[in-house]
Amino acid sequence: MTATNEFMMPPGPAERDLENSLPVMLGFEGNRIVIRTLFRIVGTALVLTAPAMWVLPGSFFQSDVLLMKLGVSVFFLLCGLALLMRNHIDTQPEAYFDPIRRELRVLQKNDRGRPETVMRRSYDSLGGARITSRVIELWDVDGSVLMRLPIENPDVRHALRMQLSGLVRISS
């Protein structure tokens, strides 16, 4: 007996489009550049101040002051590290546009470094999208801005436009 492929049909246009469409992953734009820079400067100053309290001249080594100085230096160190890590690239969520499931997922890394889905929306539940050369804005059905994401290059913009066309109202 020979096996024949009589039940195999050539892929139609919908299947070819699905094979050619790749998922798109976009990172959220971090907080504004000025705020991020300010946090880095203040965080670095706090981290450097913590050990400097112990080595600068004029430091008092009396027993009642030592405990307070230790508490303040640990506080400065922890606050400085928190400000430095607040806008780290690994802590930023990512938006994942899935053409197969036709949904948008927002992924954020958990404590173990694995991505977790923190939001899932189907393309049908989106109110609209505005795609410009550098940014895509997604609106909710009530007209409020759901998210604003930066677009790195024209290929990503084209892929997003192809995925969302026909499913989401797109304005330019």
pLDDT band at 135 (very low <50, low <70, confident <90, very high): confident
* Same domain? 116 vs 143: yes
6 band by pLDDT with thresholds 50, 70 and 90: very low
Give the C-alpha separation, 43 to 38, whole Å.
8
pLDDT score recorded for residue 50? 92
- The verdict on 19 and 102 lying in the same domain is yes
Query: How far apart are alpha carbons 25 and 47 in whole angstroms?
Result: 34
Question: Could you identify the residue written with the tokens 């989106």?
Answer: 126
Check residue 159 and give its pLDDT: 85
**Model-level pTM greater than 0.85?**
no
Domain residues for 126? 13-29+92-171
Q: What percent of the chain has pLDDT over 90?
A: 13
In a domain, 7, yes or no: no
Is residue 65 assigned to a domain?
Answer: yes
Judgement on whether residues 108 and 156 belong to the same structural domain of the protein: yes
- Separation of alpha carbons 169 and 134, rounded Å: 19
118: its two tokens: 């923190």
* Cα distance between the two ends of the chain: 59
